[in-house]
Structures are given as C-alpha cells and as structure tokens.
Amino acid sequence: MNIKPLPIVAAPRSSNKRTTERRSIALPARLTWKDQRGATRFVSVVTRNISDDGAYVECRSVVSIPLYRLVQFQLESDVRDADHIPDALRHGRILSAVYRVSPPRPSGAPQGFALRLMIDPRRRASAAPVEASRATA
C-alpha cells in the first residue's frame, strides 16, 4: 500500500492583526509629556484614527518625542462626545506610549505619532457591560 502525504496548505494570513476596529476621524487633541530635562511640553495634534487600544495623531509643527516615551493624550473637551469615541477618552487624559514616529516629509505631510493607550484592563472590563446594555436598549 502506497500512501502519499497530503500537501501542507498554509492558512491565509489576515493583513489586519488589530484586536479592535480602527475608525477614521479628524478630531483635535493634545499631547503632554516631560522632556529629558523634566520640563513639561505639550503640542496640539489632530487625531486621524482611533481604536479602543490606540490612536494615530498628526502634528503640523515638528516636535521631538522619542520612541516609547510616555505621553498624556486627550481629546479637546468640545469633541469628547463625538460618535465612535472609546469611553476611556471621554473622561480626559489617558497615559499612552509612543510606539511609532513618522517624520514630516518634504511633500508637506505632517509628522505623525502612533500611540498605544494604556487603559487599565479593569476599567475596560467595567465599560463592557455598559456598552452591551446600550446595544440592547
């Protein structure tokens, strides 16, 4: 009896590896951080997309925020009630880590920062039942 091995077929890999859906927006926000000398710095930014875990912001002026720097991220108070904003961002500042920096380009594209929102898992878990009750209402 001659048994042929079956060919190994790799499962298709999804190009989107995000755990939550990212939503495109254009809302004003602010980043605040301490520089290497301990001085508090801040800059106004435009939030380009957001999810429950992260955000991408663009800044018209060139600022020096190094990779992995902890920053405070907050949406401007007059836009916190906009649709599709994660509940954690409706209450003010969120500690975030810079995990990607896109330098400004000669074509005029602004400098960008990808942020990982450092949300306490207990806070996220307590917001889940509230969101579920909203969906059923």
> What's the whole-model pTM score?
0.74
Residues in Cβ contact with 1 at an 8 Å cutoff, skipping those fewer than 6 apart: none
| Biggest CA pair distance of the chain | 78
pLDDT tens per residue across span 5-62: 555 555 555 565 656 778 899 999 999 999 989 999 999 999 999 988 999 999 989 9
Encoded tokens for 94: 């969120």
Q: Is pLDDT at 123 greater than 80 in this prediction?
A: no
Mean pLDDT in the chain? 82
Q: Which domains does the chain have, with CATH numbers?
A: 23-122 (2.40.10.220)
Encoded tokens for 8: 């190994």
Query: Cα separation of 82 and 24, whole Å?
Result: 12
pLDDT at 39: 94
Closest CA to 72 of 41, 93, 46, 102: 93
Give the long-range contacts of residues 89-96, CB within 8 A, separation 24 or more.
89/50, 89/117, 93/32, 94/118, 94/119, 95/70, 95/71, 96/55, 96/70, 96/71, 96/72
pLDDT tens per residue across span 47-70: 999 988 999 999 989 999 999 999
Return the higher-pLDDT residue of 82 and 137: 82
pLDDT at 84: 79
Residues in Cβ contact with 127 at an 8 Å cutoff, skipping those fewer than 6 apart: 87, 88
User: How much of the chain exceeds pLDDT 90, in percent?
Assistant: 46
Residue with tokens 């939030």: 47
Residue with tokens 């961002």: 89
CB 110 within 8 A of CB 63: no
